[in-house]
Structure 1
Amino acid sequence: MKKSHLLRKGRISIANHYYSITLVADSRRCLFNDLSLNRLLINEMRRLEEEGACKSIVFIFMPDHIHWLFQLKTHLTLSRVIRAFKGRCSKLAREHSQIDKLWQPDYYDHMIRDESDLVNCARYIVANPLRSGLVKNVGSYPYWDCIYIK
Structure 2
Amino acid sequence: MSSRHLQRGRFSRPGGIYVLTTVTRGRLPVFETADSARIVIDCLRDIERARISHSFAWVVMPDHVHWLLQLRQGTLGACMQRFKSRSSRLIGQAAGSALRLWQPSYFEHALRSDESLLRQARYIAANPVRAGLVDQLGVYPFAWCRWPSDP
Which of 58, 61, 75 is 1:77 aligned to? Answer: 75
CA offset at residue 9 of structure 1?
2.8
TM-score for the superposition, normalised by structure 2? 0.89
Q: String of CA shifts for 1:23-75, please: whole Å, max 9, x gaps.
A: 1011000011111111111111111111110011100011110100111001x
C-alpha distance in 2, partners of 1:140/1:46?
Answer: 20
Unaligned runs of 5+ in 1: none
Write out per-residue CA displacement over residues 83-114 of structure 1, whole angstroms, 9 at most, x where no aligned residue. Answer: 01101111111101236211001100001111
Correspondence list, 1:1-150, <5 A: 7-74=6-73, 76-97=74-95, 98=97, 100-149=99-148
Gaps of 5+ in 2: none
Q: TM-score, normalised by structure 1?
A: 0.90
> Relative to 1, partners in 2 of residues 1:135 and 1:94: Cα closer, same or farther, differing over 3 Å?
same
DSSP-derived class of the 2:20 partner: strand
CA distance in 2, matches of 1:77, 1:130: 31
Q: Per the alignment, in what secondary structure is the counterpart of residue 138 of structure 1?
A: coil
Q: Secondary structure at the match of 1:94?
A: helix
Aligned AA for 1:96?
A: A
* Distance in 2 of aligned mates of 1:89 and 1:26: 13
Structure 1 residues 130 and 7: CA distance shift in structure 2, 3 A: farther
Quick check: 42-51 or 100-109, which moved more? 42-51
Alpha carbon RMSD of aligned pairs, Å? Answer: 1.6
- Residues in 2 aligned to 1:99 and 1:125: alpha-carbon distance in whole angstroms: 30
Which amino acid is the alignment partner of residue 13 of structure 1?
S
Name the count of aligned residue pairs: 146
CA contact (8 A) 1:20 1:69 kept: yes
Determine the C-alpha separation between the residues in 2 that align with 1:115 and 1:139. Answer: 22
Alignment partners' CA distance in 1, 2:55 and 2:108: 15
1:99 to 1:142, Cα distance in 2 relative to 1, 3 A: farther
Alpha-carbon distance in 2 for matches of 1:116, 1:7: 28
Q: What is the CA–CA distance in structure 2 between the aligned matches of 1:6 and 1:131, rounded to whole Å?
A: 32
Instruction: Kindly indicate whether the alpha-carbon contact (under 8 Å) linking 1:7 and 1:108 is maintained by their aligned counterparts in 2.
Output: no
Aligned residues of 2:18 and 2:68 also touching (Cα < 8 A): yes
SS of 1:140 mapped into structure 2: coil
